[in-house]
Structure 1
């Protein structure tokens, strides 16, 4: 187990370094931030001094080496726009994104297990024929389009919820409902497919023959054997929620890591942009390792570190 975790950590470190290189190069393509932070009336000398102070006049490869060296010493740079340590700003915003993702994923898991199991109990029945098209639509509908339609209908036309902000619990209703649609649709289809296969297995038929209730067979015997694909896909959807929060937070004005990232790109706040992306990447890679470990513990046939679990 320790060898497996170490190997995955090294792989993740390599991926993070490659991501840093790509993001570093992309941020520099947006232009020199000197013009963003100095007035038009600033003298050429003032512009040169500002660029020299922040290293913007150095070659790109020199800037990257300095940045990676600072990262190795725990220095993530200073946010030019907020005049604070970049990682400090990112860490303040990240709990909001995690909270949004946690509520969304919790609701998606519970509802998908219930809806998928009920649909699998009567394949091609009335409930199954109603749920399947809806879940396919929610899984494929663009999040930004759904968010804009939801704002127009429920906030502007009906006035049931606010259009943006996060001051009260009511402000969370629309973002969570919009963000939950994609994982709910995908996970419901996964649960339904796995449950249909499990319910047709001999052990499920034997349990029914022995007098077990339909609910016990579905939610105890069959569900236990359907958890592996659910966990795998749920992990992919959970990591996707961190990325999807960028769109939702921007549209609904949530001050999470996604909105901070978009604002930093607009302001050419390079250090803050990279700090946000680095933080999100580390969390995503950690979640992937945790999912692999959980999968291996649930299925003894999965190998960890080259040795089969027994």
Structure 2
């Protein structure tokens, strides 16, 4: 375990260094000039001298490597800089919007679990029945519908026609229902098919037949043995698709005007707010890396074979 954690620590150090450099380079090479955005050149007349003075004050006239080194030095001190638009510290802005994004993400995951686990399990248990065919048809339809279009349908149905739920903002639990339902339904179709396939493979294994021969109940066989054996592939795909989930959160936050960091960074991109963009990229990259590391560690508990292999390698 210690060697595994040490290796993960070295990986995260290299990963953070790499992602900070790449994101810094891409953000700086993107079209647009933040100096002109800050000075509001569309609203008032600004001389070229004023533009050059501000560019020098912000360090944009220095080589990119020098700018990156200066940013990295502050990052080591947990200082992400200040927003060019609001003047607030980037870390404060991210921490202010992060609870809303995490709230939406966890809400979507709950919807995904409530939908995909029963449908995937029933589809595997009653293979080729009307339940299986209906489940597969719904998962295909769900995979084909873009999340923003599904969100527009739910807004029109529950927000406009029936007027049951609010469609914008974040003022209570009711404002979370539609965004979480939209994102959760959009991602659940993948896991319904994956869980069905993984369960069918598990139910055909020798240890399942051995469990039946020992007289165990079907309920115990399914929940204790088959379901546990089928989880590693599902968790693997979840770790890989986490980036897509975060991207979906950004789309849904903009669609429902949900005040999370996704909507915040879209505004930052439009305003060329480099520190906020880079802070968002770094925080999201670290979250994805941590989740994938937790996925790797979870295999040791979900798959007993990995424990045995690790013990044999240590002898």
- The one-character-per-residue Cα deviations of 1:50-109 (angstroms, maximum 9, x if unpaired) are 222211222323222211222123221111112111111112211211121112213322
- Pair 1:201 & 2:202 matched: no
- Pair 1:24 & 2:50 matched: no
Cα distance in 2 between the residues matched to 1:258 and 1:115: 30
73-82 vs 286-295, which moves further: 73-82
The TM-score normalised by the length of structure 2 is 0.88
The TM-score normalised by the length of structure 1 is 0.89
In the TM superposition, 1:101-120 aligns within 5 A as 101-120=105-124
Specify whether residues 23 and 83 from structure 1 end up closer, same or farther in structure 2 by C-alpha distance, changes over 3 A only. Answer: same
Indicate conservation of the 8 Å contact 2:254/2:263, yes or no.
yes
The residue that corresponds to 1:251 in the other structure is 255
Specify whether residues 240 and 305 from structure 1 end up closer, same or farther in structure 2 by C-alpha distance, changes over 3 A only. Answer: farther
Indicate conservation of the 8 Å contact 2:228/2:302, yes or no.
no
Cα distance in 2 between the residues matched to 1:42 and 1:8: 50
The residue that corresponds to 1:291 in the other structure is 295
The residue that corresponds to 1:8 in the other structure is 8
Cα distance in 1 between the residues matched to 2:174 and 2:77: 42
Specify whether residues 240 and 2 from structure 1 end up closer, same or farther in structure 2 by C-alpha distance, changes over 3 A only. Answer: farther
70-79 vs 196-205, which moves further: 196-205
242-251 vs 12-21, which moves further: 12-21
- The one-character-per-residue Cα deviations of 1:127-157 (angstroms, maximum 9, x if unpaired) are 0000011112223432222223332333233
Cα distance in 2 between the residues matched to 1:22 and 1:157: 46
How far is 1:182 from its partner?
3.3
Specify whether residues 262 and 208 from structure 1 end up closer, same or farther in structure 2 by C-alpha distance, changes over 3 A only. Answer: same
Cα distance in 1 between the residues matched to 2:105 and 2:35: 36
How far is 1:180 from its partner?
0.6
Indicate conservation of the 8 Å contact 2:111/2:181, yes or no.
no
Correspondent of 1:53 among 57, 62, 80: 57
- Pair 1:161 & 2:165 matched: yes
Cα distance in 2 between the residues matched to 1:305 and 1:166: 47
How far is 1:279 from its partner?
0.8
3-state SS in 1 of match to 2:185: helix
Cα distance in 1 between the residues matched to 2:48 and 2:237: 55
Specify whether residues 116 and 45 from structure 1 end up closer, same or farther in structure 2 by C-alpha distance, changes over 3 A only. Answer: same
Specify whether residues 297 and 308 from structure 1 end up closer, same or farther in structure 2 by C-alpha distance, changes over 3 A only. Answer: farther
Correspondent of 1:132 among 136, 139, 142: 136
Specify whether residues 203 and 101 from structure 1 end up closer, same or farther in structure 2 by C-alpha distance, changes over 3 A only. Answer: same
- The one-character-per-residue Cα deviations of 1:212-231 (angstroms, maximum 9, x if unpaired) are 55444333332122222222
Correspondent of 2:69 among 41, 65, 68: 65
Indicate conservation of the 8 Å contact 1:261/1:277, yes or no.
no
How far is 1:307 from its partner?
6.9
Measured on the aligned residues, the alpha-carbon RMSD in Å equals 2.5
